[in-house]
């Protein structure tokens, strides 16, 4: 599992995001083929840089799906939290693909 905290974007209405990703490697994957989490993190952040105006649920589903397809993962759970600064709190989206317990990290 890893997290990216306080990622600010001018898109999405100027939201600040927290991202939490937990994943399981494919069964039988040799440890030499384990992806470096930095590469997964970079894919996540690269996807967030262009203008993204979808709902966070759509954005989370697309990113989580692409990460799972691109890396040798058996399962992944992604939680995105968004805060605009004027809302009473964080909005959150959790997407789980495969056999892994869903993330549920409170703020």
- The CA distance from 70 to 38, in Å, is 14
Q: What's the pLDDT score for residue 53?
A: 62
How crowded is residue 22: how many other Cβ atoms within 10 Å of its Cβ?
Answer: 18
Instruction: Provide Rg for the chain, Cα atoms.
Output: 14
Residue 84 confidence (pLDDT)? 80
Beta bridge partners of 17: 7, 82
pLDDT the model gives residue 31: 94
Q: Which two tokens stand for residue 28?
A: 């039988």
pLDDT digits (tens, 9 = 90+) for 66-93: 999 999 999 999 999 988 877 677 888 9
Q: According to DSSP H, which parts of 1-107 are helical? A: 37-48, 56-70
Distance CA 47, CA 42 (A): 8
The predicted pLDDT at position 63 comes to: 92
Q: Which of 92, 88, 84 is nearest to 10 (CA)?
A: 84
Encoded tokens for 56: 């966070």
pLDDT, tens digit, for every residue of 34-66?
999 999 999 998 887 655 567 888 889 999 999
pLDDT value at position 103? 81
pLDDT of the residue at 33: 96
What does pTM read for this prediction?
Answer: 0.86
Does the structure show a pLDDT above 90 at 20?
A: yes
Structural element, H or E, at residue 95: strand 91-97
């Amino acid at each position: 599992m890893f997290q990216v905290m306080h990622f600010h974007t001018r898109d999405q209405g100027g939201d600040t995001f927290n991202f939490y990703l937990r994943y399981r490697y494919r069964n039988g994957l040799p440890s030499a083929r384990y992806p470096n989490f930095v590469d997964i993190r970079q894919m996540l952040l690269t996807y967030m840089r262009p203008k993204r105006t979808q709902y966070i649920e759509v954005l989370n589903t697309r990113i989580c799906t692409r990460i799972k397809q691109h890396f040798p993962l058996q399962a992944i759970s992604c939680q995105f939290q968004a805060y605009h600064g004027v809302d009473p709190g964080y909005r959150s989206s959790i997407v789980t693909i495969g056999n892994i317990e869903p993330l549920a990290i409170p703020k």
